[in-house]
Structure formats: C-alpha cells, structure tokens
Structure 1
Amino acid sequence: MQPVTENAQTLLESIYAFCRQHSMAESTFGRRAVNDGKFVSRLKDGSRLRPETWDRVVKFISSHGGAAPSAPDPGLLHILPSESLAAAASDTSSEKNFRFFDNRQKYLMFVNTCSEKDIVAERAGMELSHIHPAPPAIRLFDGGIGDGTVLAKLLREMHGRFPTMPFYVSGKEISLEDIRLTLGKMADRLFEHPATVLVFTNMFYSEAPWLTPKKQEAKDALVWKEVALKGGTAHDFDRQISELDSFLTENWQARHSPKTGNPIYDHPAVLVIYREDYKFLLNDVIPKQGEAKADYDLVLASQPYRLRVPAAFKAKNVIAPLARALRPSGRLLGIHSYGRDPGMEIINRIWPDDNPFETSRHDILRALKDALGDEAEEFDFNAFSDDRSIFQYKMHTLPTEVDSSIGTSTLFAAWNDAVYVAQIEDDRLEDGPEGADYLQATREVLKKHGGLWFNDESYVVSRTRGA
C-alpha cells in the first residue's frame, strides 16, 4: 500500500493528536522532537521543513507510540520546487544565486579560530606509514576538500616522506568558493613537489573517485579540462591557476536536489593540473577521460556527512563508495565530530536536550558492513580504542583572554564554533536561543574550562592486500 502524502495541515493534526495523547504542550513537543520550542507555531505560519527535520519528527512520534505521519508533501520540505531549478541555475545574480554550503561566515570563522584542520592533517599523515603504494604514483583522494587547508598540509607531509615519488592527488568539492581557496594553495605544492598531478571534481561520492558520472545525460554534459602549467616558479603557477577563475565560475555551479534539498552539481566537471615540464614523466599518471581508475592508497573522509542523518545513509552514500575506491592495502580514514566536550556544554545550556552526535564510529562501521554486503569480506574495519580514535582540537585563545575579562569578539567566536560543530539549524539561530543568554552561557563555559575545545573521533577501513 502506498503511503498517503502529508501536507502541513495533516502533519499538524498528527502533532495535535500526539500532544493530546501525552498531555504535552506544543512548545514542549517542539523542544523534545527537534529542540525548537517554536517549531509548531512556525509550522502553523507556513514554514517549510528540512528533510532531516521531518525525519526527526517522525522518529520522535514513532518512538513514543504515536501514529507517525507518512511521506511528506515535497512542497512542505525546505527544497527548491522542480519547476524553479532551471531558473535558479540560469540566474547567477548575487541576489538569487543561493549558497548551498553551511553559512560561509560561520565556516570561515571556525576554520580560522580552531585548530581542527591542523590536527586532522596530522592524523591523516599518520596513515602514510601504513600504505603500500605501487607504481606509477602514490594515489590520494580527499573526499571533501573544503578550503584546502588539510590537503595542503597533508601534501607537505607526503613530500617529506616520499620526496621523489610521483603523486596523483584527487579530490571532491562542490563549493565554488572552496575550490578557489584550494587552488590558491596549490602553486607552492607544485613547486616543491613537481611530480604531482592534481585532479579536482564536483561529482557525487559514487562518481568522484572514478571521475565518471553514472547517468548518461551527465556523462554527455561532462566538462573535462586539462591544464599543463608553464614555467618553473610558484609565481608562474599561481598566475596561471588564477586565470582559471572564469572556467570555475562557469563549470562549478550547483543547485538544490529536488529530492533531498542537498547541493548537487549543475553539470559534472573535472579539472586536471600538472607541470608541463613533467608531462613526460607523468604520462602514466595523468588521467584520461573515460579511462580513469580509482585504486587509492589513502582516502581521507573528514566530516563528509551531516551529523543528524542516519548511519545507514552515511554508510551507503558516502563511506561505501569511498571504500570501494581503495586499492589492495589502501586505507580510508574517516573523521567526524564526537561531542562530549565544552562546545557541547555550551549548546546544552541553551538547548538542554540537543544531541547531534547520535551516530558513533561503531554505528558507521556496522552500517558500512551492511552496505558493502558480500564485499565486506575484502575489508578490515578498525574502530580502535577511544584513546587512539578520539582526538581533541582547540579554539585559539590567549591565556589572558579567558583568565580575565573575556572580550565580546572571543565570546562570539566561541559561540559560532560551538553551533557550527553541533550543526545547529539556521532557523533555530534566527529566532534566538530561548530562556537563556547565549553569550553568558558561553562565558561561563570558557571560564570553567579555561578555554574551548572539541572532540573528533576517527576510524579506518582498509582493503586487504590480497583482495
């Protein structure tokens, strides 16, 4: 039997029935279901839901014995209607061109005030001692390049360990702004380690390692650009990389998925960069359109999924494709936020019941085994002990900033980092935290701990050498 599509009114009726059954106020329902006391009132006013918010409401009602609503009306979800996609894609004006990636201001403040990128790069560098590369190159895949900070640091570590070996460095990034930031860091890498091939794409996790779209229409729309850099200085390379801006603007466009609301490419693109004076040496390393392979020695998957989506989704759509891209003896390092830190203490002072860290590394690995099916026999799954898996990174502060009077800028930065790590939805932040002064809560936590830090946890999936 097909589920009955729910509209806003029938969803509200389901909530009303649940509240009557449990003698619960609507504001209490909102706080307990989605940590938002104004959730029901906003729904009455016509607000749309994110797909993950819908899932949380359904899970809450079902787990408490209520009659959970069935499939949502797409018009109720916070995604672009299908008839708007073409217009949105064709209109690139600053007023109408949506930003699909977590608020850039929050992201950039987090990157520049916390040491996570440094610690992640260091943790990834540790895996280099366990790989067994084979000619013609060491093959690295970054499953979410971001602003390129981790990749640049990891490439320095690789050069230190393997100064004479050719590198094949591939990565996935859908954000135009992030791919620009990444390319800005690559000129120095190409100067120090000239035997390097850089390959960047905006494709999905199931496509990016192989540089091949799955659907025929996407294959037909694929844009493949190969750039052989001339000259011999970092300045020469940087100037030519900067000239790629118009190519990126035209070919790194994104839009909303009509199914999930997540960002997807307008059309697939691949950018291949190497030094012209090393083209002969790298002939067997440079990928050819339609002939690219995966076979990676190391895959880095740092924060590749949203915290609040189910483990099965994370495993099936993100980690499983990346694991399949490993060569025999290749290793995948997965990293995500763990919580149980002062950052989460700040969040819980404002939203006491909030817990975005419901999926542990153990949950991910169990779901991954299910997603791989019979292929799971080809892999080793390593959750490790907490002492090895869990690591800490800090917000940069001076000792005097937290020992004496804490400045407003430090408080705002700490609050920003806490809500960014916990992935607090913008609609909750726009209405303002309820019943507490968030800056005062932030100040108290900083004073209590003498600073602010966060915990990540890691896991490793390796393909057996005989696979």
Structure 2
Amino acid sequence: MKDDLTQLVDDPGAIVKVVRAFCERYGVAESTFGRLAVNDGKLVPRISSGSRIEPETARRVAEFMARADRGEIRLRGRPRRKKTESSDYRMAELVNQETSIHTPGSFAQHEQRHRYHVFAATTNESWVKADIITSDVGALEPGTDGFRLFFSPMDNGITLVRALRALHALHPDVPVQVVIKGWGLEDLRNTMSRMVDRLAEHPRTAFVMTNLYTREAVHLDKTAEDGPGGLSWHDVAFAGTRAFDYQRQMGGLFKELAPEWYVIPGEDDLPVYARPSVVCFYREDQRDAIRHLIPAKGGSDLAFDYAFLNHPYLHSHTMTFRTEYVLKPVIGCLAPGGQMKVVQSLGDDPAHEIVRTVWPDR
C-alpha cells in the first residue's frame, strides 16, 4: 500500500480511487479519513480536484491504511450508501411519485406548507400574481371613501406587498383597507414583517389579518360550528412615522398572536386554527382619517372592491365545498362593481411539465 501511493503522487485520480475504496470498505466518511490520516478533513476533496499530493503525505496516508488493515487502528462507521440509494436519488424518486398528476393520491404543491414555501421562494409565481392584481386594480375606480381588498390565503406576503406598492402608485391618496386571511405562524410572521413598509409609504392603510376560515373571514366573525371557538380580537394602533418604529411594535404583537395562530389537528386530523383570531393594525396618527375602514368586533359589514383567492382550496375538496364554502361567501361580499380573481393549481400546467421532464412518470 505504501509503495503504491508514493508511486502515484503524480496521478491524483488514482490516489482518490484507492482512498475511496478504503472508505467504502470501512464505512467512514472521506472527511473523517482525512482527519484521522493526516489531520486534514479536506484532503480527499483537494486531491479529487486535481491537487498534487506530496510524497510525505502519501506515505502517511499509506501507513494509516496499512495499520487499519492490520487491525492496529479500529475504525467505526456505517457502509456508505450506493448511488442508487443516495438521498438525492431517493428524493427525486419521491418527488416523481408525489408530484405526478397521474399518480394515485397525488397532491398539489400548495397543500403542504413546507413544499409551498420552497416553491414560492424559488419561482416567480408571486411576481406574476402581483402583476395580475396590478392589472386588475388599475382598471378599477376606487370608491369615494377608499379601496377595500380581500386576499386569501396570505402565503409569504410577497405577492401582496408588490400589489400594494402598485396600488399606492396608482392611488397615492386613497385610503385602503386590506383584509388578509392566513393560515399558520409562518404566514403571519412573513406577511406582518413586510407590511410595515406599506404603513410608512401609504399611511392611510388599515390592515386586518385573520386565521378564520374563508367563509368566516369575509365577515370577520366565528360562524362555523366546527373548530375551536372564542374569537380573539386585537385592535392595535402603531405609534411613530418610520417603518422601524412599526417593526419594533410588530415584534411584540407577533408574540401575542402566536399562541392563537398555531395550526392544530382538528376533526379527521385536518388542520385548524388553535384559536380564531382577528388583528387590526394601522397608524395611530391616521386613526381618524381611516376610522371608517377599521372594523369593529361583531359589527363589520364588509364590501370588497377586489378579492384575490390564491390557491384557496385543496384538490381533495369537493366541488360543493369549493362553491359553498369558498367562492360564494367571497362573491357575496363584493361591493357593486367589485371583482374576484382566483388562481388555483390544476396540476396539468407548465410547472408539472417541467417536473415530469426531470422525473418522468413510470
């Protein structure tokens, strides 16, 4: 072994092949091998990238392997998985099974929160949806007392904040009410953190966030018989004039809301809110100017100029559920001349075409 390696100092590829065979045999990681042999965890990656190994280093490596073969050094590890059993391969296999619309039991990407957030963070879907809202809102004429927007569900806040920037550019002096239906702590945290800048640029804005079901959210009232009861209502006026002022106050508000926005298993293990919650926040110095846009508990008669439903239902939901519990309640709360836009993943779309190209159906 010693002679073999010292004679291969000018052939890094051959040395790497010998070392990797040793690691495979003893079940140790290449970084562990490097540390134990020459106190260098990056030895193997450097050699594999083409770096020349010094004869003395080759001698020490060969001596280490020889001692291990003689039993003088006891190495413990687990056999390395073959390439076909690697995590990357297994993940590709699972994604192929789970995203294909031809696979029984398939799901939409938005039905699992962690998958949706990866999807939203790595694609331009949020930008495209914001452009759709901008185009729609640009064709609407705000009412004399302000513009009322309903957005559900809130996702990570990127779509909404881009749309609100456009709304401010179109109507910088028009008061705005934004009712946002969310689901879970990550929705709340991501969206709240992005809305502070909107308060700074567009002072006359009233934000309303709720984790109620869609059919409840349009009325800001707990009406469904299922799920936890006891509506929690928060009315918060932020002091200051800078986004940083609101950010500091938002942090304390999030801690207060967090116990209510947890998602817990409900009937049939379907996720429900820990406690129904509504939070209204706005600038204290604008309270009088937008008082008519700040809802009150038990007395909110909402009428929206524009509603955007962002993947509002699951593929498992029946058409009756989608119509009666999602679409109709929102349509019923549109103001005269109001519009609603629905974006829903159907599965047979360009994104799935890409997935099927990368991971073909079997």
TM-score for both structures, normalised by structure 2? 0.66
Q: 1:182 to 1:332 in 2, by over 3 A?
A: same
2:303 to 295, 299, 302: 295
Correspondence 1:265 to 2:302: no
Structure 1 partner of 2:112: 102
Is the Cα–Cα contact under 8 Å of residues 209 and 293 in structure 1 kept in the other structure?
A: no
Structure 2 partner of 1:123: 132
Q: 1:305 to 1:348 in 2, by over 3 A?
A: farther
Is the Cα–Cα contact under 8 Å of residues 132 and 330 in structure 1 kept in the other structure?
A: no
Q: 1:113 to 1:283 in 2, by over 3 A?
A: same
Is the Cα–Cα contact under 8 Å of residues 229 and 275 in structure 2 kept in the other structure?
A: no
Correspondence 1:249 to 2:258: yes
Structure 1 partner of 2:341: 333
Structure 1 partner of 2:175: 166
Secondary structure at the residue paired with 1:117? helix
1:329 partner amino acid:
G
2:103 to 27, 35, 39: 35
- Aligned positions of 1:44-443 closer than 5 A: 102-104=112-114, 106-215=115-224, 221-259=230-268, 261-338=269-346, 339-341=348-350, 343-347=352-356, 350=359, 352=361
Indicate the percent of aligned positions where both proteins have the same amino acid. Answer: 27
1:208 partner amino acid:
A
Aligned-pair RMSD on alpha carbons? 2.7
Instruction: State the distance in 1 between where 2:151 and 2:301 align.
Output: 15
Instruction: State the distance in 1 between where 2:252 and 2:170 align.
Output: 32
Q: How far off its partner does 1:178 sit?
A: 1.1
Q: Deviations over 1:199-226 (max 9, x none)?
A: 0000011110110111589896111011
Q: 1:277 to 1:219 in 2, by over 3 A?
A: farther
Instruction: State the distance in 2 between where 1:181 and 1:311 align.
Output: 31
Q: 1:351 to 1:195 in 2, by over 3 A?
A: same
1:287 partner amino acid:
P
Q: Deviations over 1:144-203 (max 9, x none)?
A: 001111110111011011100100111100211111100000111000000000000000
Is the Cα–Cα contact under 8 Å of residues 132 and 329 in structure 1 kept in the other structure?
A: no
2:166 partner amino acid:
E
Q: 1:344 to 1:312 in 2, by over 3 A?
A: farther
1:102 partner amino acid:
Q
Q: Deviations over 1:36-64 (max 9, x none)?
A: 5xxxxxxxxxxxxx8x99xxxxxxxxxxx
Instruction: State the distance in 2 between where 1:141 and 1:112 align.
Output: 23
- Decide which moves more: 299-308 or 162-171: 299-308
Secondary structure at the residue paired with 1:191? helix
Instruction: State the distance in 2 between where 1:129 and 1:300 align.
Output: 14
1:228 partner amino acid:
A
Q: 1:199 to 1:351 in 2, by over 3 A?
A: same
Structure 2 partner of 1:9: none
Instruction: State the distance in 1 between where 2:285 and 2:120 align.
Output: 35
Q: 1:351 to 1:35 in 2, by over 3 A?
A: farther
1:344 partner amino acid:
E
1:269 partner amino acid:
S
Is the Cα–Cα contact under 8 Å of residues 101 and 263 in structure 1 kept in the other structure?
A: no
Larger radius of gyration between Structure 1 and Structure 2: 2
Q: 1:217 to 1:109 in 2, by over 3 A?
A: closer
2:345 partner amino acid:
S
Secondary structure at the residue paired with 1:244? helix
2:343 partner amino acid:
I
Is the Cα–Cα contact under 8 Å of residues 183 and 273 in structure 2 kept in the other structure?
A: yes
Instruction: State the distance in 2 between where 1:242 and 1:109 align.
Output: 24
